[in-house]
Amino acid sequence: MENIVDQQEVGELYSQHHGWLRNWLRGKLGCPDTAADIAQDTFVRLMAGSRNVGFDRPRAYLTTIARNLVVDHWRRMELEKAYLAAVALRDEAEVPSEEERLLILESLMRIDAALAALPKATRKIFLLSQLDGLTYAAIATQLKMSEITVKRHMRKAFVVCLQAQ
């Protein structure tokens, strides 16, 4: 099945819809630079995508891609803020280098995106196990639930780990 979209087709879509998309995003985001970046990225994604979907309703398809990119953008902003808040509490000598910072953020983006599929309670239990190293028994006690329930949540989370890119 041919996956790559026809360059010419994308060119036409770009000239017809890029301006509209960028304005739509500007109205949503309030930041013209981010709007411009995401509008561009939307078409980049479009080029890498599949040709059978949504071309009879291009704007709906474009806004769907753009919305996902906006969600990624917000995710990155939140992770960067949380990163800065954590690093602010460290000593000068412990601040990661710029290169380390980028690697850490890349890892966080990948992991956070995968964990976003989990409901709040499952995510909390999973992090208690993996980040805080608690046993299932300890988690069960802390959250006042049975160990079987904890295991059920952990299994759900591990299914997501097995699926992650």
Partner 1 sequence: MTPNLKQATDSIIFEEAADWLVRLNSGKTTPADWDALSAWRTQSLVHERAWQNAESFLGAMRGLPADIARGALGREQSRRQVLVKLALLLAAGPVAWATYRARPWEVLQADYRTAAGEQRNVELADGSILVLNTASRVEVAFDATQRAIYLQAGEILIETASDNVSPPRPFVVRTADGEARPLGTRFTVRRYDGYSRVAVFEGAVEVTPAESKAPLRLAAGEQAGFTTTATGPVSPAVEVDASWRDGMLIARHMRLADLLAELERYRPGLLRCDPEVADLRVSGAFPVLDSERSLALLQQTFPIQIETFSRYWVRVRPRGVT
For partner 1, give the closer residue by CB, 15 or 140.
Answer: 140
**Residue among 67, 72, 143, 145 that touches partner 1 (CB under 8 A):** 67
Region binding partner 1 by CB under 8 A among candidate stretches 6-14, 36-44, 77-85: 77-85
Residue 12 lies near partner 1 (rule: CB under 8 A): no
Residue 136 neighbours by CB distance under 10 Å: 18
Residue 19 lies near partner 1 (rule: CB under 8 A): no
For partner 1, give the closer residue by CB, 15 or 48.
Answer: 48
For partner 1, give the closer residue by CB, 8 or 88.
Answer: 88
Residue 54 lies near partner 1 (rule: CB under 8 A): yes
**Residue among 16, 50, 142, 146 that touches partner 1 (CB under 8 A):** 50
φ/ψ of 64, rounded to 5, equals -65, -45
Cα–Cα distance, 76 to 109 (Å, whole number): 7
Region binding partner 1 by CB under 8 A among candidate stretches 9-17, 36-44, 81-89: 81-89
Q: What is the DSSP string of the chain?
A: ---SPPHHHHHHHHHHHHHHHHHHHHHHHS-HHHHHHHHHHHHHHHHHS-TTSSTTSHHHHHHHHHHHHHHHHHHHHHHHHHHHHHHHTS-GGGPPPHHHHHHHHHHHHHHHHHHTTS-HHHHHHHHHHHTS---HHHHHHHHT--HHHHHHHHHHHHHHHHH--
**Residue among 4, 31, 102, 116 that touches partner 1 (CB under 8 A):** 116
Find out whether 122 and 153 touch, Cβ atoms under 8 Å: yes
Binding residues (CB under 8 A) for partner 1: these are: 1, 27-29, 49-50, 52-54, 56-57, 60-61, 63-64, 67-68, 70, 74, 78-79, 82-83, 85-87, 89-90, 96, 104, 107-108, 110-112, 114-119, 122, 124, 127, 129-138, 151, 154-156, 158-164
